Structure 1
């Protein structure tokens, strides 16, 4: 099984992100921000932008069979204006890295879809992007009059890792390995922070539709890799992210349980639950997810979903990247999931995390109202601080 090479150069003032076969290195400190994104300007803090569920399916001849309601230009979707807005918001953060939380490209993440939609808005941040895949990069889509074959990560890896002249994806790059033994899980470091990107899309041909975390299948190998990666980590702060959330905040039923129930539903639930257990045992600081098209912050929880202020892990759901919006389950102060502290599903936006030596701060403020919402949706803001365990 391939292992990920992790490189950290915080001690020499470089923002270095590394996975097997690729690295992005800063050119050194500058006197101002004009040379961003190549210069990292603080030895003590790093900025991580985080968001998922981003780009609408382009309305082009290749997608002629897709209903117009599912493509860019549909009045029920965020469309190109939303993905450009969130990309601009992320760029203004001058991030050291961008954690992409899955479903970067709808509906099935073909390479041409990435090139004609996601890349148009988010391509300027590409060398800083550290993605995780979502169900729309792996699974087929056969809903709402559509019928598209699953890509099993081919378009995803072709876009982020590069591809040859025939379009075949490069098997190593910034999205991790694309091999029979590793479907894009990897880790990297920012200063005192160890950051892990995972692939939960086990109900796919690439994983042989095997969602067990304890047999000899690919998901079990990924779970074993996670255990080993956490055991080898010596940094005091840890973030893990993948697509489907372990604990739900919305009324969406796809691959999640009702928001009033603990634990993840759907076939990916076993992975999410097993990973939360490992992260909890290894004192992880934060978990980030997408999939639910909203923003929500959940209290520190143990693997059963019980509030655990001393040892639990807070979860941020940031599925507000631009494609569409869901509905939060419940209302402010009375959410169906009692661990939801706050949330919004009326606008698109990106989470800004400031990673310090032994703690962090977060700042989420939406940037563009969603369909059917006005500028009052932009009045929402969630900020705060936390410590590493």
Structure 2
């Protein structure tokens, strides 16, 4: 039960930290306490405009979800980075996109914000977080429950750039805080930052158990070991997930990490079609083991980023086969602001036949409403991407489902 202790420790730290940081609006009379773990919320004489961050209803929680957000700031420290990869590039969403998605998320008045990785490009330095991500998304910081992406861990040596990987240092330094020398704290809202735990953790919203995982196994921090069955870090994380799921007694479960196991924008690799596990690369292949565990424990939803688009995939089993009765729907929400990809296929003829609907013409955040035994989703883009006009904003996707 040691891993359960880790999860409980994460929840305990977060409860204490968030209670200290909770803000009470001048419009509110009485006490308003943020409780991301779904414990009792004291809120008296609330008015409609007293958020942040009072929770208003025991019947439902709001979770905002998005990844792939902030452009690399155009400053002296990044002078060697090609202009096409930095804020201000006409091919990127830029600051206007990340401010637009941050406002969209803020307007949802969320109880928590699931960040699906690649919060900060290109390599997630702490100074980049402070000069870009923080400018737009900093107002939601105490509600943000992040997962890391490849741009927080890996070097970036493409398109004329050459930046060394941060192995999570800037990510943990930003979300967990750091000392005066910039060394990240070993505990915080992004989970533990230790040799044995690179930021996987779980938390609760009412009847919902929510799990944030780190898939960045091809990094120095994971010793480039993407096996889920040996004694390496990813193997330890997978065992932690198994223990966490076994200990969970809530009826509804969400898990999220960065690289999608099943793809909406990757047509195929040499050996793996888009509908097969691992079409997105080594990380997606490794997280096939997570799908199997989540399927075994009747998880409700899986959320991913990495692909710069929005896509909803039908309920699937771990082999990527449609399974309406027992399968898990996958949502890809990589439309946070940095850039947009190209979908593999077109409506009605996607390369992955499990893609129900998708868009890659605009930036936006998904709103999840979590009820005791059911959920609903609502996705509407908020800003057209480069090369697109306002017609891209006509897209929407909404619906509902139940916990198994």
Q: Relative to 1, partners in 2 of residues 1:187 and 1:29: Cα closer, same or farther, differing over 3 Å?
A: farther
| Partners of 1:157 and 1:27 in 2: CA distance | 31
- Aligned residue number for residue 260 of structure 2: 245
TM norm structure 2: 0.91
- Which runs of no fewer than 5 residues in structure 1 stay unpaired? none
2:19 corresponds to 1:4? no
2:319 corresponds to 1:300? no
| Partners of 2:215 and 2:239 in 1: CA distance | 14
**Counterpart of 1:243 in 2: which secondary structure?**
strand
TM norm structure 1: 0.94
| Partners of 1:29 and 1:190 in 2: CA distance | 20
- State how 1:2-151 maps to structure 2 within 5 Å: 3-5=6-8, 6=11, 15-17=34-36, 28-151=43-166
- Aligned residue number for residue 300 of structure 2: 285
| Partners of 1:276 and 1:14 in 2: CA distance | 35
| Partners of 2:280 and 2:352 in 1: CA distance | 14
| Partners of 1:274 and 1:255 in 2: CA distance | 21
1:264 to partner: Cα distance: 3.9
- State how 1:186-205 maps to structure 2 within 5 Å: 186-205=201-220
| Partners of 1:279 and 1:253 in 2: CA distance | 25
1:283 to partner: Cα distance: 0.1
Deviation string for 1:99-145 (max 9, x for gaps)? 00000000000000000000000000000000000000000000000
2:402 corresponds to 1:387? yes
Q: Relative to 1, partners in 2 of residues 1:322 and 1:367: Cα closer, same or farther, differing over 3 Å?
A: same
1:4 to partner: Cα distance: 2.0
1:267 to partner: Cα distance: 1.8
Q: How large is the Cα RMSD of the aligned pairs?
A: 2.1
Q: Relative to 1, partners in 2 of residues 1:213 and 1:260: Cα closer, same or farther, differing over 3 Å?
A: closer
* 2:229 pairs with one of 214, 230, 233: 214
1:35 to partner: Cα distance: 2.1
| Partners of 2:140 and 2:344 in 1: CA distance | 33
- Which runs of no fewer than 5 residues in structure 2 stay unpaired? 16-31
Contact 1:25 1:38 (C-alpha < 8 Å) held by counterparts: no
| Partners of 2:321 and 2:368 in 1: CA distance | 24
**Counterpart of 1:384 in 2: which secondary structure?**
strand
- Aligned residue number for residue 349 of structure 2: 334
Q: Relative to 1, partners in 2 of residues 1:197 and 1:372: Cα closer, same or farther, differing over 3 Å?
A: same
Deviation string for 1:71-118 (max 9, x for gaps)? 000000000000000000000000000000000000000000000000
1:263 to partner: Cα distance: 3.9
* 2:198 pairs with one of 154, 163, 183: 183
* 1:228 pairs with one of 226, 238, 243: 243
Q: Relative to 1, partners in 2 of residues 1:258 and 1:369: Cα closer, same or farther, differing over 3 Å?
A: farther
